[in-house]
């Protein structure tokens, strides 16, 4: 069964790739969707066997790379962590496939799009199922390639080209860190197999090695390097700017990449290497600080964005920050719980945004919408469910998971944990504000434009609406259903898949938190909702615009956050301009078209043109002289090449005669030419 889980999407992709033209858009879409949906059903059965029945499975298909002491096999590990990821990936992917049938129906390149989606799913599955770091790295790179193809699907758009290249480059930065981390693991453990590395981690708890000229704690260095890979994939601060720009791809791509799959790879990596991070507390501190910073940066930036998809994208950055700092404080089960719940409502939000964009003719600016609740009632209902789940409304989605993340940070008792808690509270306030701001601007009030698309808006076809209904149900009932299995005290659900920092598997201390610490997230959420209503629909309507006009400080803050903290500008002027200057003026103009030409073809041509008059055949007195030299050189070469076959002594190519043979060969070749 477990091999079938991996083979079904692969076969669907291969058939779609080779027979896409024959099958047509609808045929390819049905084939790939059916394959991924069947994989989801099998993954759910596997989750029951592994997670609830306690029967993990490991498969070995043979050696892949075998060189002296290095041995990497084609092996797969199906433990609870793997099966949770597989269910999430295939579940969301199957709904995105179904959604794409309706959303992309008018696109003539639908077969290619569906094949890209399925390819992405395959590599993501490979990433989470491998039993060694090399297979993980293969899936990691494959996911990056597939995301590049998906973001750049509409390759005739300049912005799509830029966004895809940006995503590829920034993820390559993270991939370098991941590769160095894997090298460090092999240097320390002499293997890259999960079972061996994790079972012997305690033996290397005090080891160190030289890194960048300094003697550093080995597991701390490895943990930080692996985390650099997670920073790139999970869009943490510093390498996060590719994620909002990836909105240039089709909306189903946004739901697939930014909701439940690619961006969660970093969180999965942190959970997978938890046995190593348990002996690297300094690395966990770095993880906590980066995650908390990302949570607040994404939340603050989302306050002033006007593109509907970008608001949701920055919300993804912020929520990924929550997951990362939850892993940083050692609460891996809580991080994974929030990851799964987040996948439900974030995919729902992206697909609802796509439904709105599809209904009104491609408009994405929220300032040009309004009053769509009357013409898109089902989409409005689903969007409201997703938004309420995102902000942590009682008994929906993040109400359970986000609170557990904040409680885990609070109860760690460290400075970094408390800092993450307070930043998380403020991020919750910002999340509530921009989530309700989106709902109010898009669906409430009256239309703010006379664009024909708004008046003629209507609900999409059933392939568009059915995934919204399914995800709405998962958002409402999923959190409560999974809570005890994922985070219950003493639950055997995770088995040996996770090693909890400090030996505390679950935050039981959260049950005895002070009342103000427990109520703080709910209060922050309520304040954000009230402020959003007051500014956009209530008594403060127009106040923000007046403040923007009158106050230079507020205007500066608005521009600073709207322009995304000018991080792209800093990168462009620091790295981009320097690279372009070096590439054009030094590498191209100076070396390639300068020195290489002078000492290469251009110089050789000039020398040839100068010497040609004196080297013509007129210098030869007769044709017999020409033929004699040619014959001599040919005989010399034949003696060298064929002499050993006839029993003649071998002529060695040493310093004494090597130049002579080289000259003879060159002369012969020149004469023949």
DSSP states along 544-599:
HHHHHHH-HHHHHHHHHHHTGGGHHHHHIIIIIHHHHHIIIIIIIIIIIIIIHHHT
pLDDT tens for 272-328 read 999 999 898 889 999 999 999 999 998 998 888 888 888 888 898 999 999 998 998
How does the average pLDDT of the chain come out, rounded? 82
C-alpha distance across the termini of the chain, in Å: 65
Decide if 369 contacts 470 (C-beta within 8 A). Answer: no
Across 263-274, average pLDDT:
90
Indicate whether 385 pLDDT > 60: yes
Would you place residue 544 in the very low, low, confident or very high pLDDT band (cuts 50, 70, 90)?
low
Strand partners, 365: 307
Indicate whether 392 pLDDT > 50: yes
Q: What confidence score (pLDDT) does residue 633 get?
A: 67
Indicate whether 458 pLDDT > 80: no
Among the listed residues 445, 255, 301, 257, the one whose alpha carbon sits nearest the alpha carbon of residue 366: 445
Would you place residue 662 in the very low, low, confident or very high pLDDT band (cuts 50, 70, 90)?
low
pLDDT tens for 233-252 read 888 888 888 888 887 778 78
Q: What confidence score (pLDDT) does residue 587 get?
A: 78
Helix (H) or strand (E) holding 18: helix 2-47
Task: Tell me the torsion sign for CA atoms 444, 447, 451, 454.
Answer: positive
Distance CA 358, CA 426 (A): 34
Across 466-470, average pLDDT:
90
Indicate whether 484 pLDDT > 90: no
Number of H helices, E strands in the chain: 28, 4
Q: What confidence score (pLDDT) does residue 546 get?
A: 67
Task: Tell me the torsion sign for CA atoms 414, 419, 425, 431.
Answer: negative
Q: What confidence score (pLDDT) does residue 622 get?
A: 55
C-alpha 179: how far from chain center? 15
Lowest mean pLDDT among 299-308, 367-376, 396-405, 649-658: 649-658
Higher pLDDT, 540 or 294: 294
Indicate whether 661 pLDDT > 80: no
Across 180-197, average pLDDT:
90
pLDDT tens for 557-575 read 778 877 777 777 777 777 7
Across 213-217, average pLDDT:
82
Q: What confidence score (pLDDT) does residue 574 get?
A: 75
Q: What confidence score (pLDDT) does residue 358 get?
A: 81
Q: What confidence score (pLDDT) does residue 161 get?
A: 87
SS3 4: helix
Indicate whether 620 pLDDT > 50: no
Residue identified by tokens 């084609």 is 74
Indicate whether 365 pLDDT > 60: yes
Indicate whether 629 pLDDT > 50: yes
Distance CA 14, CA 12 (A): 6
C-alpha 574: how far from chain center? 24
SS3 67: strand
Distance CA 657, CA 534 (A): 92
Lowest mean pLDDT among 11-25, 470-484, 573-587, 638-652: 638-652
Strands 208-211 and 214-217, how do they pair?
antiparallel
Higher pLDDT, 401 or 457: 401
Q: pLDDT > 70: what percent of the chain?
A: 84
Among the listed residues 374, 370, 396, 395, the one whose alpha carbon sits nearest the alpha carbon of residue 385: 396
Would you place residue 550 in the very low, low, confident or very high pLDDT band (cuts 50, 70, 90)?
low
* Residue 307 per-residue DSSP state: B
- Burial class from Cβ neighbours inside 10 Å (0-12, 13-18, 19+) for residue 367 reads exposed
Across 194-209, average pLDDT:
88
Q: What confidence score (pLDDT) does residue 636 get?
A: 67
Decide if 541 contacts 535 (C-beta within 8 A). Answer: yes
- List all residues 6 or more positions away from 605 whose beta carbon is below 8 Å from its beta carbon: none
Would you place residue 85 in the very low, low, confident or very high pLDDT band (cuts 50, 70, 90)?
very high
Decide if 398 contacts 299 (C-beta within 8 A). Answer: no
Distance CA 254, CA 120 (A): 13
Decide if 73 contacts 64 (C-beta within 8 A). Answer: yes
Distance CA 629, CA 664 (A): 10
Q: What confidence score (pLDDT) does residue 426 get?
A: 93
Across 66-76, average pLDDT:
81
Q: What confidence score (pLDDT) does residue 125 get?
A: 92
140 token code pair: 């990691």
Across 600-623, average pLDDT:
62
Indicate whether 505 pLDDT > 50: no
Indicate whether 190 pLDDT > 70: yes
What pTM does this model have?
Answer: 0.83
Among the listed residues 244, 366, 358, 257, the one whose alpha carbon sits nearest the alpha carbon of residue 310: 244
**b/e string for 41-66 if b means 16 or more Cβ within 10 A?**
ebbeebbebbbeeeebeeeeeeeeee
Distance CA 639, CA 574 (A): 61
DSSP string covering 588-619: IIIIIIIIHHHTTHHHHHHHHHHHGGGGSGGG
- Select the highest-mean-pLDDT range: 480-494, 516-530, 604-618: 516-530
252 token code pair: 């189903």
Distance CA 132, CA 63 (A): 12
For residue 322, the tally of other CB atoms under 10 A from its CB is 33
Indicate whether 635 pLDDT > 90: no
Indicate whether 194 pLDDT > 50: yes
Indicate whether 514 pLDDT > 90: no
Higher pLDDT, 344 or 502: 344
- List all residues 6 or more positions away from 560 whose beta carbon is below 8 Å from its beta carbon: 566
- Burial class from Cβ neighbours inside 10 Å (0-12, 13-18, 19+) for residue 437 reads buried
């Amino acid at each position: 069964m477990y091999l079938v889980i991996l083979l079904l999407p692969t076969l669907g992709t291969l058939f779609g790739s080779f027979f896409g033209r024959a099958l047509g858009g609808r045929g390819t879409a049905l084939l790939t969707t059916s394959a991924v949906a069947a994989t989801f059903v099998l993954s759910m059965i596997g989750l029951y066997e592994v997670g609830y029945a306690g029967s993990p499975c490991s498969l070995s298909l043979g050696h892949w790379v075998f060189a002296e002491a290095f041995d990497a096999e084609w092996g797969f590990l199906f433990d609870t962590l793997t099966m949770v990821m597989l269910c999430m990936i295939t579940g969301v992917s199957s709904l995105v496939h179904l959604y794409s049938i309706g959303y992309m129906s008018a696109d003539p390149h639908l077969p290619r799009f569906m094949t890209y989606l399925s390819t992405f799913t395959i590599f993501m599955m490979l990433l989470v199922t491998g039993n060694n770091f090399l297979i993980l790295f293969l899936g990691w790179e494959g996911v990056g390639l597939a995301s590049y193809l998906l973001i750049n699907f509409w390759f005739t758009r300049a912005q799509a080209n830029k966004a895809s290249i940006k995503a590829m480059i920034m993820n390559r930065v993270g991939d370098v860190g991941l590769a160095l981390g894997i090298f460090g693991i092999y240097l320390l453990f002499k293997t890259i197999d999960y079972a061996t590395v994790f079972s012997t981690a305690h033996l290397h708890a005090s080891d160190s090695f030289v890194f960048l000229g300094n003697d550093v704690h080995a597991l701390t260095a490895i943990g930080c390097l692996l985390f650099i890979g997670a920073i790139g994939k999970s869009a943490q601060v510093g390498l996060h700017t590719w994620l909002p720009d990836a909105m240039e791809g089709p909306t189903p791509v946004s739901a697939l990449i930014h909701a439940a799959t690619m961006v969660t790879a970093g969180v999965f990596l942190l959970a997978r290497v938890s046995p190593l991070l348990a002996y690297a507390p300094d690395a966990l501190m770095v993880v906590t600080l980066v995650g908390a910073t990302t949570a607040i940066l994404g939340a603050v930036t989302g306050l002033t964005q006007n593109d509907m998809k970008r608001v949701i994208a920055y919300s993804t950055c912020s929520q990924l920050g929550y997951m990362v700092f939850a892993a940083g404080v050692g609460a891996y089960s809580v991080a994974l719980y929030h990851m799964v719940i987040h996948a439900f409502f974030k995919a729902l939000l992206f697909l609802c945004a796509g439904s709105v964009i599809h209904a009104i003719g491609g408009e994405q600016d929220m300032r040009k919408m309004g009053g769509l609740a009357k013409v898109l009632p089902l989409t409005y209902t689903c969007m409201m469910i997703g938004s309420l789940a995102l902000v942590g409304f009682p008994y929906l989605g993040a109400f359970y998971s986000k609170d557990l993340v904040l409680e885990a940070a609070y109860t760690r008792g460290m400075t970094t944990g408390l800092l993450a808690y307070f930043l998380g509270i403020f991020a919750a306030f910002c999340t509530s504000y921009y989530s309700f701001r989106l709902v109010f601007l898009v669906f409430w009030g009256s239309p703010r434009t006379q664009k024909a698309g708004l008046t003629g808006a209507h609900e999409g076809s059933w392939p568009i609406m059915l995934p919204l209904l399914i995800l709405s149900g998962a958002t409402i009932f999923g959190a409560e259903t999974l809570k005890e299995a994922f985070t219950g005290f003493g639950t055997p659900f995770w088995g040996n898949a996770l090693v909890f920092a400090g030996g505390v598997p679950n935050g039981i201390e959260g049950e005895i938190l002070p009342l103000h610490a427990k109520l703080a997230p709910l209060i922050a959420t309520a304040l954000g909702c009230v402020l959003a209503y007051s500014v956009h629909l209530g008594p403060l309507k127009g106040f923000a615009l007046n403040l923007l006009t009158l106050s230079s400080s507020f205007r500066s803050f608005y521009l600073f956050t709207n322009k995304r903290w000018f991080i792209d500008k800093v990168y462009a002027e620091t790295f981009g301009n320097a690279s372009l200057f070096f590439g054009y003026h030094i590498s191209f103009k100076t070396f390639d078209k300068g020195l290489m030409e002078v000492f290469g073809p251009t110089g050789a041509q000039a020398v040839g043109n100068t010497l040609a008059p004196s080297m013509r055949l007129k210098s030869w007195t007769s044709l017999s002289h020409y033929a004699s030299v040619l014959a001599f050189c040919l005989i010399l070469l034949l003696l060298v090449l064929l002499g050993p076959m006839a029993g003649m002594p071998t002529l060695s190519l040493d310093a004494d005669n090597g130049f002579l043979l080289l000259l003879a060969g060159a002369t012969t070749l020149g004469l023949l030419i």
